[in-house]
Structure 1
Amino acid sequence: MSNHQILDPADHAELRIHIGPGAEYGDKVMACLAVPNEFRRLATDYPIVFHYDQEHRSFSALALMGFEKDENLFLDGRSWSASAKPMALAIQPFLIGRSRDASSAAQVHVDLDHPRIARGVDGVRVFDDAGRPTPYLEQIMSMLAELDEGHRASGAFFSALDRYDLLEPFALDVPRAGGGEHRLVGYHLINETKLRALEPGAMSELHAAGHLLPLFMALASLGNLGKLARRRAAKNHG
């Protein structure tokens, strides 16, 4: 369940947020939505893969953090062993809200039923005593704006991937702690062979549209698949 409200200092003057990592705060997830304008930042640590939604007939990008449901190999108690979190995870419990026709300006909403909502004096304040956004909230608003911009631009990026047939399905077998293997399926990767074979005109088009950098970042991130598997093996034998 969720309880979304427009963030307002009059209604949420005392609102506080748990900002540290923790399974109880919703961080125990194997993957998180990612947008192309953050691929460069995420490619340092996470494999970036793509998922096809059959119902909506569209692709989305994911930063992979584990290989099975509720497995986050970057989360270790109260620590997060990566240089950055995907923005869609880092901004919780906040989100961008718009009217149904999207004609009004975007507003910051907060989910008051989210586990990151702190009770009592715990957590970081969202507004100061004068009702102004704290540095924490200013940082969140900046990320929300960047994430919103990324979502708006991602449609053209995924259309380009489809137009040039640059995604291919893949499967990966990962050893289980108790023996046997788990097969990761249902995801796509950038097809490096087809990317390299693109005509110069197509490459120029992708570059002019700003798609080439996130494409190469997603491709480069695939080296993290092996690192993620080794991280899993180390945890299983730790």
Structure 2
Amino acid sequence: MSSHAILDSATHADLRIHTDASRELGDAIMSCPVMPNEFRQVQAHYPILFRLDTERQSFTAHALFGFDTGENLFLDEGDWDARYRPLAMAVQPFLIGRSPEGEAAQVHIDMAHPRVSYGDGVRVFDEDRQPTPYLERTSELLGALDEGYRASGAFFQALQRYELLEPFSLEVELGDGSKNRLVGFHVIDEDRLRALDAATLKELHAQDHLLPIFMALASLAQIGALVDRKNQRIDHG
């Protein structure tokens, strides 16, 4: 159960954060949400798939880390084996909160998160109770995540408006003969994208939607690399 609190230098003067990667620190997940403003970085390492919330009839985008629940093929003995970690993972255990009175953004922290420590780890505030470079960098990432989240609604609405998403399933046969079946996701419908007229493409470009669409398409090339990671895990037991 989470326990959110507003971060402040008086209450959290001695707070430290575990920044390595492990199952114990909450990294053992097969996917995480990603924002359109980070698709360029994400596509270089992970497939980007879309999932439909049937209650809200709205989509979210996810970076795929594995093929089974709780499987993250990028975890490697305390390291995250990729140059880019999606924003939703990189900012943990911090998050953006907003005051009830208005839209002012505040840095919150989940004090129940396993990354939180008062012993080992990277300091959040220095001896003068000033933000450390780690906190300053994390605050920048939180800002990028918040900006991406606020802009994402229009992006997903455009995908739905032009029916640019299609259901996606994948059956992967692994080196040991076993099979993994991936279901419940959507991908960009390349045929429908190709069929869009010039005016629609111009509109998507003007609204900064066209680049993330192409990045999501390009990311599907990473599925083969993810299968290779799975086979390497099987080969090494």
SS at match of 2:166: strand
Match of 1:174 among 172, 175, 185: 172
Partner of 2:70: 70
CA shift digits 1:8-64 (9 cap, x unpaired): 001000000001111111111100100000000111000000000112211000000
> When the two structures are aligned, how many residues end up with a matched partner?
236
1:57–1:99 distance in 2 versus 1, CA, 3 Å: farther
Are residue 137 (structure 1) and residue 146 (structure 2) matched?
Answer: no
Q: Is the 8 A contact 1:52 1:60 kept in 2?
A: yes
CA shift digits 1:67-116 (9 cap, x unpaired): 11010011112122111100001100000011357x23010000111000
- 1-structure distance, mates of 2:133, 2:156: 34
SS at match of 2:139: helix
CA shift digits 1:182-218 (9 cap, x unpaired): 2110000011111111100000000000001101000
- 2-structure distance, mates of 1:110, 1:223: 36
Q: Is the 8 A contact 1:23 1:77 kept in 2?
A: no
- 2-structure distance, mates of 1:143, 1:64: 20
Q: Amino acid of the residue matched to residue 119 of structure 1?
A: Y
Q: Amino acid of the residue matched to residue 43 of structure 1?
A: Q
Q: Amino acid of the residue matched to residue 186 of structure 2?
A: H
CA shift digits 1:144-191 (9 cap, x unpaired): 000000000000000110011100001111236875322110000011
SS at match of 1:60: strand
Partner of 2:103: 104
Partner of 1:93: 93
% identical aligned pairs: 56
Partner of 2:20: 20
- 1:1-238 alignment to 2 at 5 Å? 1-100=1-100, 103-120=102-119, 122-175=120-173, 179-238=177-236
SS at match of 1:233: helix
Q: Amino acid of the residue matched to residue 171 of structure 2?
A: D
Query: Which residues of structure 2 form unaligned runs of 5+?
Result: none
SS at match of 2:116: coil
- 1-structure distance, mates of 2:137, 2:69: 30
Q: Is the 8 A contact 2:99 2:106 kept in 1?
A: no
Query: Which residues of structure 1 form unaligned runs of 5+?
Result: none
- 2-structure distance, mates of 1:219, 1:207: 16
Q: Is the 8 A contact 1:173 1:183 kept in 2?
A: yes
- 1-structure distance, mates of 2:6, 2:80: 29
Runs of 4+ in structure 1 displaced over 3 angstroms? 175-180
- 1-structure distance, mates of 2:14, 2:182: 44
- After superposition, the CA RMSD in angstroms is 1.3
Q: Is the 8 A contact 2:98 2:104 kept in 1?
A: yes
TM norm structure 1: 0.96
